[in-house]
Amino acid sequence: MENFAPPLVAQAMAQASALTWADVALPLNQLINIAVVLVAAAILSRFLKRRLKKPTKASKLTPQITYSLRPLVFPLTGFLLLHFMFFIQMHVREATPLFYDETHKLVIAWVLIRLVMMFTNKKEAGWLVAGLILPITFLHIFGLWAGFESFLNDLGFTVGSFHVSVYKVGQGVLLVGFLFWAVTRLNKVVDNTLKRSKKLSIANRAIVSKIAQIGLYVFAFLITLDVLGIDLTALAVFGGAVGVGLGFGLQKITSNFISGLILLFEKSIKSGDMVEMSDGTLGTIRNISARHTLVETFSGKEIMVPNEDFITQRVINWTYSNSAGRIDFVIGVSYTSDIKKAKELILEAMNKHPDVSKTETPACNLKEFADSSVNFQVFFWVDDIVKGRFRPLNDVLFAIWDKFHENGIEIPFPQRDLHIKGPVRIETATKKQ
């Protein structure tokens, strides 16, 4: 049987037969120590998690960050306890313990996977990243990473003095994906932090948020170029040509982006303002983003208006300097009615309404003697036009209607008098032929 066994199998069998109990006991003892430390880390992490109370919306930023890091308590506790155990063993035996490098790399991979799973909204993306981290870790553990990296570097082509390989492309894709994902998460953290700030106005918060967003993306882009070893001077000519092409192709996007910054700095519109566009769109500003402004109409529709439209078109801002607004309408009474009494009733109906402003006096002026009625021009003010202008108008008109009926004031409808003078005879002459 031994003569027919493959050489590797025979060599493995020979090494196994030469093993003694001392050779097996030391690795087994080390594995038992690692397992005991991990169990202790699980118990300690469970105790620490119970001490972390769920923060409320009014809590400060530090408790919220601490509570969000709960999934990392177990791997970080295990990492610290394992390092403490290895530190003691190194000082007692004055030698590096078995499985030191392997355990170190596995625990770091474990922490990275938990970190990615914690901050990734989609589980599929988290499992994809975990599927990339684990193979790389095992290649490092078995000493195969250097050869695999050299193999990937050989697969590629050279353009001038720059070598493009599969390894660099994969590294760049992963790095760009990670950096831009991290920048997106950081932008959300910055926005949430600014929303809780009471010292900054809404417009200033938006300005700071946009500047932070631009700075983070530029920083991520420069880091990507530095890691990939791309020289910026080598991209000068190519970048100029691409820049001209993008200037023509993306001029609308650039225009909207610059218009958004102008709106934020000028503060001509801000979140909460009620605006009316030249095309008749009427609603409330909800958010000013890099490309568009979100306008919510009174029917619940959310319209994304390009920022450029607020710069190049005529826009009515009902709440630019204050939220007060005037509501006016025309009402007519018949010629047989007491027009002085009608004016008193109209003013009384407006003054009794709770939403009518007390600082601005309502007015009722005689406008004209029309064909069928005597018309009054009526207007009143409301303190907050955003709360509504149709409901106060509706209530005032109903109140006027009731008061007119109680006091015999008639609201006429168009009338025409038709006078018939008599029958008209049409005589036709016939010619005899």
- Under 8 Å between Cβ of 367 and 377: yes
d(CA 189, CA 193): 6
pLDDT at 248 over 70: no
Please count the CA atoms within 13 angstroms of the CA of 412 that sit on its side-chain side.
17
Pair of tokens at residue 192: 């949430």
Which of 14-28, 97-111, 336-350 has the least mean pLDDT? 14-28
pLDDT at 3 over 50: no
Higher pLDDT, 206 or 85: 85
Give the bridge partners for 303, in sequence order. 295
Q: What is the mean pLDDT of the chain?
A: 75
Higher pLDDT, 122 or 406: 406
* Among 23, 24, 32, 33, residue whose Cα is nearest residue 87: 33
DSSP assignment, residue 22? H
The model's confidence at residue 238, banded by pLDDT at 50, 70 and 90, is low
- Under 8 Å between Cβ of 334 and 375: no
pLDDT of residue 208: 72
Average pLDDT over residues 234-249: 60
- The topology (CATH level 3) of 269-317 is SH3 type barrels. (2.30.30)
The residue assigned the tokens 């300005």 is 207
Q: pTM higher than 0.75, yes or no? A: no
Kind and range of the H or E element at 388? none
Residues of the chain within CATH 2.30.30.60 domain(s) are 269-317
d(CA 333, CA 373): 5
Write out the CATH class of domain 325-406: alpha beta
pLDDT at 184 over 70: yes
Give the bridge partners for 306, in sequence order. 292
Residues of the chain within CATH 3.30.70.100 domain(s) are 325-406
pLDDT at 172 over 60: yes
What's the pLDDT tens digit per position in 95-120? Answer: 666 666 667 777 777 777 777 776 66
pLDDT of residue 1: 41
d(CA 230, CA 298): 52
